[in-house]
Amino acid sequence: MSNNFGMSKQRGSAFEELTDQFCERSFLQDFLFLRPKRVSVNRELTDLMAILDDKCLCIQIKARGNDSPPSGLRLISWATKQFIKAGRQAEGAIRKVKTSEISAVHPWRGSVVFHLGDLVPVCGIVLVEYMGPPFALTLEVKPENSGGIPIHYFSLNDFLNLVDLLGTLPDIIEYLQQRAEISHDVKSIIGNERDLYATYLLDGHLRSDLSYKEIKNRWAHLIDVEESFERKRKHNIFVDFYNGLISELRHQDPDKLSYQPPELANHVMPLSDRTSYLEIATRLNKLPYTYRREIGKHLFQTTKAVKSDGKTRMFTYRGLGQPWVLTFLVTPNMDRTLRIRQLHLLVASNQIRYGCQSVIGIACPSLDSNQGFDYVFVDKVTYSEEEVKKLAPTITKTSEITVSPFPKPIDDSLLPKDEDFE
C-alpha cells in the first residue's frame, strides 16, 4: 500500500511538471511557478501558479495512481472525488494568496518572493486526469470560493487543448472571466469543454445566457469549427515569432558592454539585475493572441525582406489603449554599436511622435543574420525634440501595424518555409 502511494505521488509530480512545461509555450516561463510555497509555514500553496502583472491563477492538478485505472461509473466516481478534493485545495490557495507571503524557485530567476498584497487571485483552476465520457459535476463542487472568486473545473486534456488553442495568458484569463458568468449547468460538464471554446472562438465571446442546447446545435456547423481551429493553428507560427522576443530577453550577452555606445553605457543594467528585462517581458506578455499574430507576421515579413535586399526597416505598434509604444528596428549585419545608437534614436523619435513617455525598442536581425537582439526600454525622455528632429528626419517614417479581426483566412504562400531560414 505504501509502495502504491509512493508511485502515485511520483506520477502526480510528473504530471504537474509536464503541465508546467506544456503551458510554457503559451504562458511563457517567466510567468509560471511550479509548487510555490507560503513562506511563514514553508508549505505548498498550489501545484502551479500563473501570474500576469498582479493577476494570479492558482492551479491544482490530480493524476491517477500507477495502478490500472478504473472504468465506467467507478472512473466517474473517482474523478468526482478528485474534483471535490482539489476544489477545496484551490479554494484554500485563493484565500492564502491574499494573506500570505509566497515564495517560489524559478528555473532562471532563482528564488522569487511575492510579498503580501503583490498578487490578486483571478480564479482557481482544477485539473483532473480524466479520459472518459462527459459527465456533470455534483453540487458538492463549488463554482466559487466564499469571496466570490471563481473556481473552474476541467479534465486535464481539455485544459491543455484550451491553452493550445487560445495561445496566450491574457486570452486564457479573458476566457475564464467570461466562462465564470455562464450557467453552472453548461460549465459543469467535464470532458466537453471543446464545445465551449469552439463557441468562444467562432462568436468571439461567451454570452452569460448561453444554453447547452445552443452549444450542441453549433456542432451542426462542424466543418466551420474545424476550419477555424486549423486556421488558428496556422497563425501560431507568427505568435511564436512574437513570443520568441520575450524568450530572448533572458539570454543577455555577457559582452554587451563592449559594444554599447559610450554615451549610453551608464544606462545598461548589470547582468545580475533583471528588473528592466522583466518589465519588458511583462509588458510584451500583456498583448493577446490577435495582436501577437499581427506583430509576429509583420516581423517575419520584415526580416525576410531585409534578408532579400539588405535594407534596414522599421515599424511600430501602438494599441489596446496601452500607454506605451512597441517599435522595431530590423537590420542586416551591421556594427552593433551603430545599431544600438539607431535603436535609441528610434525610441526617442517615437516618444515625440506619439507623445508617449514609455517606449520599448527591439533591434532584430534579418533571417540570414547571426546577430542577437537588442532591447531598449525608456520610461522618460532621453533626447530633446530639437535633437531628434535634427538627427532622425527619416526614422520617423516608420510603418504602423493595424490589427484585423480573427478568425481570418491566410494565404498559405505567406507562411514561413524552411528555405527562409537557410
Residue-wise pLDDT for 280-303, tens only, equals 888 899 999 888 988 998 899 899
How far is it, in rounded angstroms, from Cα 97 to Cα 85?
19
325 has which bridge partners? 359
Residue 376's nearest CA partner among 275, 267, 303 is: 267
Angle at Cα 246 formed by Cα 205 and Cα 202, nearest 5°? 15
Contact status, residue 210 vs residue 385, Cβ threshold 8 Å: no
- At 379 the pLDDT is 76
Model confidence at 247, pLDDT cuts 50, 70, 90, reads confident
Residues 85-122 have pLDDT tens digits of 999 999 999 999 989 999 998 877 788 999 999 999 99
Q: What percent of the chain has pLDDT over 70?
A: 79
- At 7 the pLDDT is 43
Least confident of 46-60, 143-157, 252-266, 309-323: 252-266
- Give the global pTM: 0.86
- At 192 the pLDDT is 85
Helix or strand run (H / E) with residue 313: strand 313-317
Contact status, residue 193 vs residue 139, Cβ threshold 8 Å: no
Least confident of 37-46, 229-238, 360-369, 409-418: 409-418
- At 242 the pLDDT is 92
Angle at Cα 232 formed by Cα 230 and Cα 234, nearest 5°? 70
Residues 16-61 have pLDDT tens digits of 999 999 999 889 888 999 999 999 999 999 999 999 989 999 999 9
Model confidence at 197, pLDDT cuts 50, 70, 90, reads confident
Give 122 or 250, the one with higher predicted confidence: 122
Which domains, and CATH codes, for the chain?
A: 2-210 (3.40.91), 236-421 (no CATH)
- As given in the structure block, the three cell numbers for residue 342 are 539607431
Q: How deeply is 280 buried, as exposed, middle or buried, from its count of CB atoms within 10 A (0-12, 13-18, 19+)?
A: buried
- At 128 the pLDDT is 96
Q: Enumerate residues 6+ apart whose C-beta is below 8 A from 170.
A: 52, 285, 286, 287, 288, 289
- At 82 the pLDDT is 95
* Cα 394 → chain centroid: 35
Helix or strand run (H / E) with residue 128: strand 120-128
**Is the omega angle on the peptide bond into residue 407 within 30 degrees of 0, that is, cis?**
yes
How far is it, in rounded angstroms, from Cα 103 to Cα 96?
13
Rounded average pLDDT over 320-345: 85
Rounded average pLDDT over 198-203: 82
How far is it, in rounded angstroms, from Cα 371 to Cα 379?
26
Rounded average pLDDT over 250-277: 65
How far is it, in rounded angstroms, from Cα 87 to Cα 126?
6
Compute the mean pLDDT over every residue in the chain, rounded to the nearest whole number. Answer: 82
Give 347 or 260, the one with higher predicted confidence: 347
How far is it, in rounded angstroms, from Cα 396 to Cα 400?
11
Which is it for strands 32-34 and 48-52: parallel, antiparallel or unpaired?
antiparallel
Give 392 or 127, the one with higher predicted confidence: 127
Contact status, residue 355 vs residue 368, Cβ threshold 8 Å: no
Model confidence at 334, pLDDT cuts 50, 70, 90, reads confident
Residues 64-88 have pLDDT tens digits of 876 666 788 899 999 999 999 999 9
DSSP assignments along 20-68, one per residue: HHHHHHHH-GGGEEES-EETTTTEE--SEEEEETTEEEEEEEE---SSP
How far is it, in rounded angstroms, from Cα 27 to Cα 16?
15
How far is it, in rounded angstroms, from Cα 130 to Cα 103?
30
- As given in the structure block, the three cell numbers for residue 86 are 482539489
